[in-house]
Chains A and B, each alone.
Chain A
Amino acid sequence: MKNIYKIHLIGVGGQGTVKASTIVGEAAMKKGLNVVMSEVHGMAQRGGTVVTELKIGNAHSPLIEEGAADLLIAFEPAEALRALNKVGKDSFVIVNSSPIVPFTVSLSISEYPELSSVFEELKNKVKNLLIIDAQKIAKEAGSIISENMVLLGVAVATPNFPVDKKLVIQSMKENLPPKSIETNLKAFEKGFEEVNM
């Protein structure tokens, strides 16, 4: 493992970005690694963009330098573009293909880019790109709200991910409500298989 592994997660309020990040952080702690994480709380959360950052290894600040993320997990396509400043040529990028169009677009005060051009832009820039239909996979697993665990499964299966799958699963069990754990584990495994097929 590199000295410090840096993960940037971005999504929209309600997608479970913070939960997914916390699960990774606790799993890293279980492995005996140092880990720092930055979260967004409060006003910024209501329907807005939610960003968390994790540094696993010998780091003090939880914020990632521009262009320095080892891994970007974008829970929403346009949000992947928003996070591009943290992405460099060696970064690995996972992006969920289902868009969440905010009401500002319906009110014509902002614009949502064509999905095809979003993916094209990402393909042109990012060498290591995985576009995942997390919504479809989550539905297959039994619940549309497990999208975050699908993406987490994908992340754990990427090369250089610093924490073992077993520890992530253990951390999931300690952080998710017992009644939804079965569906979430299924979603996680399906995500994991997307990469390892």
Chain B
Amino acid sequence: MKIKEILTKKEGEKLFLLGNEAAVRGALEGGVSVASTYPGTPSSEIGDVFYKIAREAGIYFEFSANEKVALEVSAAAASAGLRSFTFMKHVGLNVAADSFLSTVYTGVRGGMIVLSADDPSMYSSQNEQDNRIMARLAGIPLLEPSNPQEVKDLMKFGFELSEQFEIPVLMRTTTRVSHMRGVVNLGLVIKRKEKGCFKKNPEQYVVMPAHVRKLRKKLMEKLTRIKEKANNSPVNKIIDKGGRALGIITSGGAFNYAIDVVSENNIEVKILKLAFSHPFPEKLVLDFINSVDSILVVEEVEPIMEKEVLAIIGKHNIAKKVYGKLDGSLPRIYEYNPDIVSLGIAKIVNKEIIRREKFGTKLPLPLRPPVLCPGCPHRGTFFALKKAVKKLKLREEDIIYSSDIGCYALAIQAPYKMADYCISMGSSIGIGCGFTKATNQKVISFIGDSTFFHAGIPPLINAVHNKDNILIVILDNRTTGMTGGQTNPGVPIDGMGNPAPEVSIEGIAKGSGVEFVKTIDPFNLKKTEEVFKEALQFEGVAVVIAKHPCAMITDAENRKKGISIKYAINQEECIKCLICVKNFTCPAFFIEKDGSVNINSLLCNGCGLCTQVCPKKAIEVKE
């Protein structure tokens, strides 16, 4: 499949789509006019697809500076009567939360969908928060698709729901839905509205206390009406497999495990699958509870629906057992899988569940932790900084390395060990500000270009104003790397692929009053080390911008130009000092059984940075 087909394939045809790709098709079939995001796994591919098709589709798309801005862009579009779509990873919704909650109060005119891609088991995230709680906090309708087909279909459904009740709609996916591929039957891509018109109504759109008191009341009335809709919605389905001893209430990705276990083991149960799960469809669930003897709730991650079910049971004085997370039938942490769900069901139903023989091994298995790529400019930055620290005879325990969300946090590994604290986007500098006041240790903060634009500017200003003694290293690799290489405000291309002004990091630092601002190329190790030595001795806020394109960018450029340079070790010159292997740690290097050092040509990206590291100049271009 070519990505363009997500736009061009006709109604009635099929595509084998990722959940994230299906979200784009659903938006197009729903007539989306404006889409906005800040990239974050597991939602990133949605933006990658929009980036490739937005111009041809005639819609507006942007990689916003952060999730809050992304949400605001879409909220404004929807207030002007356009259909809009903003999407982010689960923790991105925390960044957007301030405006998100208020947008639910103000409401919208055009349909607006906010997609939160949750990450049970935390494959690429700092926490396991379940944003179905956010739906309850905000008072927003919630949709939970189970597979790519439903992602697509619920997008269209969501736009209509949003417009009918003039309220944004939250769609919650999980990694296994976002990154699940499935057969999707396509519908018609409809024509979007080009421009909207904002009709002034300050009582609705200006959240002053006098206004929001009325809006809060209105929101509650809306939710009552929406609840009625959820009670009767065709997207909430009953699947009857016979038997009334047990009823399963489930949603999202968890439904897939439940239905597969039930089908494979021929368990006779009744299943209520909730795709429209907030406001919780109380009448529908009550009827379901009344039709079975006991209830099992299968949901990822928190026991949210389980508590709703318990509330209904309490309210109506029903004496029925509810199984789920709270009684330990199913685990409260991490994502589910078929084995976990079948184990849970086996405890409840009086039936033998299929158990298979499986194998294992006692042999040692090599660790493959995520690493900085061969050719990564961050390696030069860390290598040079490490040397500067050593030359100045600073002790490691007297330095706090405050890192941030991005590839450079991988410097946590030996031999660099340059990530001591990292909690959220932009936190490296704010945390650094705290440490400079609370300790006498030297603080070095690392932050990437995209992360700096996202949430690094206010804490930089804070550091200047509060006279902190801090070294801030901004690793500008000309892209948003960790999420796969999206544009950001510092590069000359926008989210539509059009030329755009580059916002200058150096200019921001100087404009904020930083006196020490220097830009270096980490591919010049000697110069980089010198600048770091200077910066480390500077009293006050020092900003060093390490600017060099990400290896993914140089790889792509080399492929395009047909350049393929590989390096190799001149074994006669090599003294096996192992600086390249143990101190520099480019993953293309390895030690042969006989102790000699070699470079894996498949991994080498030809950057040649290693030649500056070798004391014997034994690394040469391979003929």
Contact = CB atoms under 8 A, between A and B. Distances in A.
B602 interface: yes
A12 B369 CA distance: 11
Interface in A76-90: 78, 81-82, 84-89
A44 B124 contact: yes
A40 B42 CA distance: 10
B557 interface: no
Q: Which of B147, B256, B368, B581 has the most CB of A within 10 A?
A: B368
B319 interface: no
A59 B260 contact: yes
Contacts of A104: 366-369
Interface stretch (A117-125, A152-160, A161-169, A181-189): A117-125
A25 B358 contact: no
A107 B590 contact: no
B366 A43 contact: no
B587 A47 contact: yes
Contacts of A175: 1
B371 A103 contact: yes
Given A88-B356, A107-B414, A44 B363 contact: no
Interface residues of B, number: 64
Contacts of A35: 16, 181-183
Contacts of A84: 358-361
Interface string B361-404: 10111111111110000000000000000000000000000000
Contact of A109 (B146, B414, B483): B414
A196 to B, nearest CB: 27
Contacts of B146: 60
A61 interface: yes
Nearest to B598: A106
Contacts of A106: 581-582, 589-591
Contacts of B339: 65-66
Interface residues of A, number: 63
B431 interface: no
Contacts of A174: 1-2
A144 interface: yes
A131 interface: no
B342 to A, nearest CB: 7
B341 to A, nearest CB: 9
Given A41-B42, A63-B176, A63-B337, A102 B368 contact: yes
B582 to A, nearest CB: 6
Q: Which of B358, B359, B371 has the most CB of A within 10 A?
A: B359
Contact of B365 (A43, A68, A82): A82
B363 A121 contact: yes
B1 A48 contact: no
B598 to A, nearest CB: 10
Contact of A42 (B42, B365, B369): B42
B103 interface: no
Interface string B166-189: 000000000010011111000000
A61 B357 contact: no
A12 B582 CA distance: 22
A171 to B, nearest CB: 9
Interface string B127-160: 0000000000000000000110000000000000
Interface string B35-61: 000000110110000000000000000
Contacts of A34: 183
A66 B365 contact: no
B123 interface: yes
Contacts of B263: 58
A46 B373 contact: yes
Contact of B585 (A36, A78, A87, A103): A103
Contacts of B267: none
B44 A42 contact: yes
Contacts of B370: 43-48
Nearest to A145: B602
B579 interface: no
B100 interface: no
A68 B590 contact: no
B359 A25 contact: no
A66 B42 CA distance: 25
9 contacts: A14-B603, A38-B176, A44-B123, A44-B370, A46-B370, A61-B259, A85-B359, A106-B581, A110-B365
Given A36-B181, A63-B257, 11 more contacts: A14-B603, A36-B147, A38-B179, A46-B370, A46-B371, A46-B407, A87-B359, A88-B356, A102-B366, A102-B368, A106-B591
Which 3 A-B residue pairings sit nearest by Cβ, starting from the closest? A67-B358, A42-B41, A67-B356
